Structure 1
């Protein structure tokens, strides 16, 4: 494992301590006490809470876009961010301004110290205070790591629960089986809530059905959207996420919000969520990027590959994977016999190295290369392939990696 010497710029370093410094400290009591001290901001505003392992951000983004298209005022919290902390807090598609976020966090410092809030809890507190000042119709709250003890679960009014794909990730905190992980996430289902999910693994399905029955909640299963639906997010997997978002927006209509089918379609078509199966550019050359950082996401990426590669086609991967992630399994899923994978560090994070992966995955060792940065790989590829066409490289393994490339200007959208 190695840690990159280049740490990402932190615009709020004086107000938010590094996430790694505190370590994982899941609890609801701190957040509930802090919100009570704040006179329960937004307590009467209904929220759709989005939980799961993969696809949470996409679902939340599409719901938020649909609400905006319908002319409803909504607040959105997401994590992690790509280039700025401000991405995590939006009202009607508008990110909070950095000066305003700094002011909110500064005002909350005494509260944060009194209740020993984690960085994530500080941000959710700031988001709810910001939302409270904006007179909103709905909140869209993307859960962080788990569910049961997540800061977003402290919001008392969550009539809607939208569930993304649940798989194996963060096992050290959530459990080492699908049943255990699903139980942590399904625990957000409150009495009488309406729960929406696309098809899940059998073990996950059993947990969601049992929890919903126990809580007197209604559980709605949805099928992926057909190709008749235009989505602003790329990839077949977004058909599944879009179906969950669509059902959530329809349920909001049933709960009294003014939303038409046309506005739902408009919202899903206009949704944007950078870093997820996105085509970017380096030195006028195209590259694909995806934040896939666990085996389930790698499996989805491998399926997407079939849309742009013929069987047996040579693919170049540039992978930066944090040391606590299941990189060996991700390699086995992604790499086909003719592929090569360049292993790079994730800036500012302890990361897997090509040497470490070669030892654990000896059958793939001949396909692995090592480089100090993504840009170094792209330079080498452009020199090696100057006289012949090459496949569009895919950069994946970590949203933090993609965020650093965008922030430093290595990759551009146009």
Structure 2
């Protein structure tokens, strides 16, 4: 895997631990002369939907003459996925050389792996002379490294919910304040509907900072979208408004480019259809309760009460610090079954621990050493489940399956 090709330069994220803050980035960027600072950026924040919003924006801009640098996280297979210009990922050799060239800088300022990659991205964008940046927040907002970028006139929010409480705070209000802190004076801020507590904080922050807040409604069914899931209509609406907010900055994106880009966008691991040994499966990166709720609603729309109960086969990998009980309460129907597997190279929930907290799940949860073992066990039953098994709970798991070629996207 391409990720392994940088193992000597990028320590594993979990070895450094979470170390949020802006001072290191400010010092490092100042030493390099603030690369790319003359280009405006759309910063995309929130809990869920950030990557999808970025992908909609980028897909539209790819169909224009506007040269756009995009940073996203996490990646699925290759570190290079995190840095792209237009449709082109940075070449591995170029990323490697940037990391080597900046190694002393990293050491002087004790940059985290995420910060090192972002510094490489800014330098790359400066070198190829992009016109515009799109920056996906990594975690939180107030202290996220993307917020060190000085010119962020457009701020787009995905849905905000409970996640990463160990870093951002114990309540929805605390988490929202951390994320709303990216709003800078005079910015144009865009969001689809949020929980009332979230909306109130966004509105107050915008008022305090003289920023313009625009609420958007989900796009109508007349819009063709390349990403599955009803929630993507909200994400696409935020992306559309962010693109329109570029007009005062001198970037006019034709409506044809937007509609074509939105229809053809691809973002792996988001209700993605794939194949394992010829059998259909679906992949989704839902890894927190808000995303689990959206996924459950997508799979189980309003049903006729007289209809046969829906039965879904799940393969779930959930990191140990995640709210697994809450997720399963949202995902599991009485007729469902779920194989609980580890997230590769991460501490993870085990089936026994889940059953210990919810004994009623003892007949529904199965343990497997890996997703591949779970798929083999399902296949040995003879009849492949319909609807197809859904693999979820962690983008790290999906990236591992795709990277090793165990599943192939349709």
How does the TM-score come out when normalised to structure 2?
A: 0.97
Of 36, 55, 63, the match for 1:61: 55
Residue number in structure 2 paired with 1:10: 4
Of 279, 304, 318, the match for 1:321: 318
Of 52, 58, 80, the match for 1:86: 80
Greater mean deviation of Cα atoms: 361-370 or 161-170: 361-370
Residue number in structure 2 paired with 1:403: 399
Of 341, 344, 358, the match for 2:338: 341
Contact kept in structure 1, 2:51 and 2:73, CA below 8 Å: yes
Greater mean deviation of Cα atoms: 306-315 or 37-46: 306-315
**Residues 13-412 of structure 1 aligned to structure 2 (within 5 Å):** 13-306=7-300, 312-386=309-383, 390-412=386-408
Per the TM alignment, residue 308 of structure 1 is displaced from its structure 2 partner at its CA by 11
Contact kept in structure 2, 1:66 and 1:268, CA below 8 Å: yes
Per the TM alignment, residue 67 of structure 1 is displaced from its structure 2 partner at its CA by 1.1
Greater mean deviation of Cα atoms: 263-272 or 398-407: 263-272
Contact kept in structure 2, 1:161 and 1:196, CA below 8 Å: yes
Contact kept in structure 1, 2:68 and 2:133, CA below 8 Å: yes
Return the alpha-carbon distance in structure 2 between the equivalents of residues 169 and 304 of structure 1.
Answer: 21
Per the TM alignment, residue 119 of structure 1 is displaced from its structure 2 partner at its CA by 0.5
How does the TM-score come out when normalised to structure 1?
A: 0.96
Query: Which ranges of structure 1 fall in alignment gaps of 5 or more residues?
Result: 1-6
Per the TM alignment, residue 313 of structure 1 is displaced from its structure 2 partner at its CA by 1.4
Q: Does 1:413 align with 2:409?
A: yes
Change (3 A) 1:150 1:390: same
Contact kept in structure 2, 1:62 and 1:271, CA below 8 Å: yes
Return the alpha-carbon distance in structure 1 between the equivalents of residues 367 and 189 of structure 2.
Answer: 45
Contact kept in structure 1, 2:153 and 2:186, CA below 8 Å: yes
1:359-391 deviation line (CA, Å, top 9, x unaligned): 1122222210001111111122122133x7633
> Which protein has greater RCO, CA pairs closer than 8 Å, 6+ apart?
1
Query: Which ranges of structure 2 fall in alignment gaps of 5 or more residues?
Result: none
1:270-315 deviation line (CA, Å, top 9, x unaligned): 2110011100001111101100000001001101102598761111
Return the alpha-carbon distance in structure 2 between the equivalents of residues 151 and 295 of structure 1.
Answer: 25
Residue number in structure 2 paired with 1:4: none
Greater mean deviation of Cα atoms: 182-191 or 67-76: 67-76
Structure 1 runs of 4+ with >4 Å offset:
307-311
